[in-house]
Each structure stands twice: as C-alpha cells, then as structure tokens.
Amino acid sequence: MSERHLNRKLAEHGVSYKNISDKIRKNLAEKLILQGNVNQANLAIYFGYADESAFAKAFKRWTGMGFKQYKENNQITTIK
C-alpha cells in the first residue's frame, strides 16, 4: 500500500499517521517511565529525536506536563 493510499484510508477514519505514531510513543514512554530507571535523554535517543529538548516538547504535548513532573505524579508507592 502506498503512503498516499494509507493516509487517505486513515483520513476516512478521522486519524492520521502522526496521531497514531504519537499515541504509540506516548504509551511506550509512559510504560518505560513507570518501570523506572529511565531518563529523558535516553528516551529521546530511543525514540529517535534529534535532541533532548525536542523529545521534551513532544512529551509535554502528549501528556500536558514535563517529564520530571510526570514521573513525580506517577510514582508507584509500595506498602510495607
């Protein structure tokens, strides 16, 4: 299937390749953050961003908050 055909089919369903790609990246980033031991610089490299600031802007667009704030708001508390 050509790229143009795919984009037309996605548009018929009210979505775009960029929207789908962003959702997948967001979900994977959230999963990796919740697993712990991952930092913003590593995620930027993992997702292929040119630099950390580009990833930071995308992450804020996806989640509505910065990386550090997201981590703080989503820390898993263990009960002893």
**Per-residue pLDDT tens over the stretch 10-55:** 999 999 999 999 999 999 999 999 888 889 999 999 999 999 999 9
Which SS3 state, helix, strand or coil, does residue 2 take?
Answer: coil
CA distance 8 to 35: 37
Please state the pTM of the whole predicted model.
Answer: 0.78
Which SS3 state, helix, strand or coil, does residue 75 take?
Answer: coil
Q: In which residue are the tokens 């031991």 written? A: 37
Tally DSSP H helices, then E strands, for the chain: 5, 0
Q: Residue 77 corresponds to which amino acid?
A: T
- Least Cα distance to 40 among 18, 15, 19, 57 occurs for 57
Look at 77 and 71; give whichever has higher pLDDT: 71
